[in-house]
């Protein structure tokens, strides 16, 4: 299974870049993984929130293949524990999923079309985190999930 | 009100340091704030988990003054939203709390004596985060709380 960590926005900001790269490299030991950074729309400032989400959705959906499993991170999603996230990864790998795409939703959520395409919608926390920090958090959580599945020492129960 | 962000462990690791410093500086515009890093015990490896927590508790409790409000971050605590955390900060400031000490619990939790001393126990997420990342997350959340209380643009509802 290939894991694709996807996010609409600018390249990783300096304050999270080293951590994201480190955890992403660590995930490589378990799954093929890469980041898909979809550049923000150039005319974003002139668009209404609704139109912005709609146009972002078009850019996002273009990147998603028919058989991809789409895991959407959205604050309206289900709160999972780290072992539950690990279980979900295991289940997808067992089902011979070719590509698991984990998409970080925007600050205002995502357009309805993306919501509908998502196979799972999960929330990292009741707290709201900045987009850049979510990238670091999800990279760490996917790495943690890998170590949980292999019964490795990183995660304390 | 002075906010003290407290953690047992090593100095901030490189991958979170810049972010922690940035958010801590930003909090300074609203509240006096500083980090209290309590060095880990030198004989930690030779202690049982229980004894380790007990000895850490002694080091922690020495730093806490009688009138401090102690907010413990622990995965067994209550899940708050960002606006709820902001409300709690506001409430403490309104009550003329002199020092609000926000303590990051250890990987195995904290000793019962610290649990008992805590005025509030909250959890950042059902997910488990590494200690260093929790430092970055709480610094960002306290900053976010400040902007929520001042109705500033940073937090989107």
What integer best gives the mean pLDDT of chain B? 94
- Within 8 A of B79 by CB-CB distance, chain A residues are 79, 125-126
Task: Provide, rounded to the nearest whole percent, the portion of chain B with pLDDT above 90.
Answer: 87
How high is the pLDDT of residue A107?
72
Please indicate whether residue A145 or residue B156 has the higher confidence score (pLDDT). Answer: A145
Show which of residues 94-113 on chain B sit within 8 Å of chain A, judged by CB atoms.
107-108
Q: Tell me the pLDDT of chain A averaged across its residues.
A: 95
Residue B130 at interface with chain A, using a CB cutoff of 8 Å:
yes
List C-alpha distances in Å: A97 to A62, B83, B93. 19, 38, 51
Q: Where residue A157 falls among pLDDT bands split at 50, 70, 90?
A: low
Provide the shortest C-alpha distance from residue A36 to chain B (in Å).
21
Partner-chain contact A129 B137, CB within 8 Å: yes
Cβ atoms within 10 Å of A70's Cβ, excluding its own: 22
Output the pLDDT for position A156: 72
Beta carbons of A72 and A100 less than 8 angstroms apart: no
Per-residue pLDDT of B56-91, as tens digits, reads 999 999 999 999 999 999 989 999 999 999 999 999
pLDDT in tens, A138-147: 999 999 999 9
pLDDT of B9 higher than 60: yes
Measured in angstroms, the CA of A155 and the nearest CA of chain B are apart by 8
- C-alpha span between B107 and A47 (Å, rounded): 45
Question: How many Cα atoms are found within 13 Å in the side-chain-facing hemisphere of A68?
Answer: 23
Domains of chain A by range and CATH?
A: 2-149 (3.40.1280.10)
Structure tokens at B32: 């006096």
Q: Which positions in chain B touch A133 (Cβ < 8 Å)?
A: 19, 136-137, 140
Residue A86 near chain B (CB below 8 Å): no
Burial of residue B22, with CB atoms counted within 10 A of its CB: 0-12 exposed, 13-18 middle, 19 or more buried: middle
Dihedral (Cα; A84, A143, B22, B70), 10-degree rounding: 40
Note the pLDDT tens digit of each residue in B47-61: 998 999 999 999 999
pLDDT in tens, B94-113: 999 999 999 998 777 899 99
| ipTM for this model | 0.94
Q: How confident is the model at residue B155 (pLDDT cuts 50, 70, 90)?
A: confident
Q: What are phi and psi of A61, to 5 degrees?
A: -65, -30
- Which pLDDT score is estimated for B157? 56
| Confidence band, pLDDT 50/70/90 cuts, at residue A153 | confident
Q: Indicate whether B152 pLDDT > 80.
A: yes
CA–CA min distance B22, chain A (Å): 9
In the prediction, which pLDDT does A109 show? Answer: 86
Q: For residues B95 and B68, is the Cβ–Cβ distance under 8 A?
A: no
Q: Provide mean pLDDT across the span A104-132.
A: 93
**B152 touching A, CB under 8 A?**
no
Burial class (CB within 10 angstroms; exposed 0-12, middle 13-18, buried 19+) of B11: exposed
Residues B140-150 pLDDT 10s: 999 999 999 99
Inter-chain touch B79–A81, beta carbons under 8 Å: no
Q: Return d(Cα A114, Cα A7) in angstroms, integer.
A: 13
Give pLDDT tens digits for B10-19: 999 999 999 9
Judging contacts by C-beta atoms under 8 Å, the chain B residues touching residue A155 are: 128
B71 contacts B120 by C-beta, under 8 angstroms = yes
pTM of the entire predicted model: 0.95
Question: Using the beta-carbon criterion (under 8 Å), do B141 and A126 form an inter-chain contact?
Answer: no
Nearest to B148 by CA among B73, B82, B71, B78: B82
Above 70 in pLDDT, residue A2? yes
């Amino acid at each position: 299974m290939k894991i694709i960590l996807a996010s609409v926005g600018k390249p990783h900001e300096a304050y999270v870049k080293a951590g994201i790269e480190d955890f992403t490299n660590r995930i490589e030991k378990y799954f093929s993984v890469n980041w898909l950074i979809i550049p923000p729309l150039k005319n974003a400032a002139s668009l209404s929130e609704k139109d912005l989400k709609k146009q972002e959705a078009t850019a996002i959906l273009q990147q998603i293949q028919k058989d991809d499993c789409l895991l959407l991170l959205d604050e309206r999603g289900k709160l999972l524990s780290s072992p539950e996230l690990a279980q979900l990864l295991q289940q997808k790998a067992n089902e011979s999923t070719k590509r698991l795409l984990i998409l970080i939703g925007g600050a205002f959520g995502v357009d309805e079309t993306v919501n509908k395409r998502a196979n799972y919608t999960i929330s990292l926390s009741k707290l709201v985190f900045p987009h850049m920090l979510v990238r670091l958090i999800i990279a760490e959580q996917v790495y943690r999930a890998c170590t949980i599945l292999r019964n490795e020492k990183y995660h304390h129960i």
